[in-house]
Amino acid sequence: MAKMHSRKKGSSRSRPPAGAKAPEWSDITKEELEKAVMKLHDSGLPSSRIGLTLRDQYGVPSVKLVLGKNLNRFLKENNALAEIPEDLGNLMRKALHIRKHVKANSKDIHNKKALQLTESKIRRLVKYYHDSGRLAPDWVYKPETAEILVT
């Protein structure tokens, strides 16, 4: 897939092999992994950082192969999933920072354009999360209320 707001093609990357079971060298059990995930979540880490920590410190190549479901589904079943999805929250945080910069530097046209592109990505993600049921149908992104939601 092409990048969203540029004329470049998407970058190729390595993908993990499609395996049906956890590798032999990974010796963590399902119960240990569930406890580790909940401990990391309780310490305040978002799901992306939980996955990286599990990979780097616990030696878990794939949560899905051990638990049978992905990390977000596991967190949702344990009522630990955040109200606003992580990628949407990060984009809202980025838009807030750009908005503050543009307010202080009104002639910075490049960052005005960056703000437009970022808010376009936010609207696109909100539409996706409405359709998938992750966000309430009446949830709307407003720059004025975004600061309250993100902080």
Report pLDDT digits (tens) over 100-125: 999 999 999 999 999 999 999 999 99
Q: Which residues neighbour 106 within 8 Å (Cβ) at sequence distance 6 or greater? A: none
Going from N- to C-terminal start, the domains of the chain cover 30-77, 86-150
DSSP, res 85? -
pLDDT per residue as tens digits for the range 31-49: 999 999 999 999 999 999 9
Angle, helix 30-42 to helix 47-57, in steps of 10 degrees:
130
Amino acid at 89: G
Residue 17 near residue 35, CB atoms below 8 Å: no
* CATH code of the region 86-150: 1.10.287.10
Share the mean pLDDT of the chain.
Answer: 90
The encoded tokens of residue 97 equal: 């920072």
